[in-house]
C-alpha cells in the first residue's frame, strides 16, 4: 500500500529533520511511505531545514492552524492516490516504529480510522495530570454526544484510509481537530479503532498548556465539539 505520513509543522526546526528521517527508515522494512511536511507558515527555519530533507514539502502561504495544515496534507494524499494517510506530529512525540501497528487494522480491513493511544497500556510518556484529566473529560463528552469513547481522543497519531480521506477532504475541523474529528467520523459511520502505542516527550518546542490555559482549553474544546455536533446534526 502507498502510505503518506502527513506532518503538520509550525516552528519545528529542532525536531523536524529527525522526524522525517525516522519515517524514511521504514522503507528499509518494505513499507512504501512518503513523508509530507506541511509547513504552516513557520517563523523559524522549519522550511529551510525541511527543504534539505528527503520529503515532500508543502509551504502554506498563510497560517491555517493545525486543522488546516492537517487537512492540506490529507487533501494532497487523496489527490495523489495514497491508500493510507497517517498524521504524525512534527515535534517527535510519535515514534515511527509504531506506524506498522497503526496501519495494520486498516490493511486488514478492520478499521477506517485508527487512533494511537498512550493510555491503553500506560507505557511511555503519559503527559501531565492536567491533560490526562481533560482527556478523561472529553471521553465523557464523546460518549454523551455520539456514543463512542476513547482513552486518548486528543492524540494526533492516527491513520485514515481512503474512505475517511474522502470525508475529511470535504470538511475537517480547524481549531481542535483531533477531538472534533471523532464526532465527524462517528456521524459518517466510520469504523474507528484505538490501539496502544508508546509516545515520547516532545523533542522540540514548548507546550502552551498550563493550569489556567488548560481550563480555558477544555472550555473551548468542549464548545468546539458541541458546535461540530450541531453542524453535522443539522446537515444530516
- Give the residue carrying C-alpha cell 488548560: 214
pLDDT for 211 equals 44
Give the Cα separation of 169 and 173 in Å (integer): 11
Cβ neighbours around 222 below 10 Å, total: 16
- CATH classification code of 2-127+152-205: 3.90.550.10
Give the Cα separation of 137 and 151 in Å (integer): 10
Phi–psi pair at 40, nearest 5 degrees:
-90, 60
Q: Report the phi/psi class of residue 170: left, alpha or beta, with left for phi > 0 and alpha for psi in -120 to 50.
A: alpha
pTM of the model: 0.90
Phi–psi pair at 25, nearest 5 degrees:
-65, -20
**Domains of the chain by residue range:** 2-127+152-205
pLDDT in tens, the chain (236 residues): 999 999 999 999 999 999 999 999 999 999 999 999 999 999 999 999 999 999 999 999 999 999 999 999 999 999 999 999 999 999 999 999 999 999 999 999 999 999 999 999 877 665 656 667 878 889 999 999 999 999 999 999 999 999 999 999 999 998 889 999 999 999 999 999 999 999 988 655 444 444 446 678 889 999 999 999 999 999 87
Phi–psi pair at 3, nearest 5 degrees:
-120, 135
Amino acid at each position: 500500500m502507498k502510505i503518506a505520513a502527513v506532518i503538520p509543522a509550525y516552528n519545528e526546526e529542532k525536531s523536524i529533520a529527525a522526524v522525517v528521517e525516522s519515517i524514511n527508515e521504514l522503507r528499509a522494512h518494505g513499507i512504501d511511505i512518503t513523508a509530507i511536511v506541511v509547513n504552516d507558515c513557520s517563523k523559524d527555519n522549519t522550511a529551510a531545514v525541511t527543504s534539505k530533507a528527503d520529503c515532500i514539502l508543502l509551504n502554506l502561504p498563510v497560517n491555517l492552524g493545525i486543522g488546516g495544515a492537517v487537512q492540506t496534507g490529507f487533501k494532497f494524499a487523496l489527490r495523489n492516490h495514497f491508500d493510507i494517510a497517517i498524521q504524525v506530529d512534527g515535534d517527535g512525540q510519535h515514534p515511527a516504529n509504531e506506524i506498522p501497528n497503526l496501519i495494520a487494522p486498516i490493511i486488514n480491513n478492520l478499521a477506517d480510522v485508527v487512533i494511537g493511544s498512550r493510555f491503553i497500556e500506560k507505557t511511555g510518556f503519559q503527559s501531565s495530570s492536567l491533560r490526562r484529566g481533560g482527556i478523561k473529560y472529553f471521553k465523557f463528552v464523546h460518549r454523551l454526544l455520539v456514543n463512542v469513547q476513547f482513552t486518548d481522543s486528543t492524540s494526533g497519531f492516527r491513520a485514515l484510509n481512503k474512505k475517511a480521506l474522502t470525508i475529511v477532504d470535504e470538511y475537517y475541523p480547524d481549531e481542535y481537530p483531533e477531538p472534533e474529528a471523532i464526532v465527524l467520523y462517528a456521524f459518517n459511520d466510520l469504523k474507528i479503532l484505538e490501539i496502544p502505542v508508546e509516545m515520547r516527550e516532545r523533542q522540540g518546542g514548548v507546550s502552551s498548556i498550563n493550569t489556567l490555559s488548560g481550563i480555558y482549553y477544555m472550555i473551548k474544546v468542549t464548545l468546539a465539539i458541541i458546535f461540530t455536533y450541531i453542524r453535522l446534526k443539522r446537515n444530516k
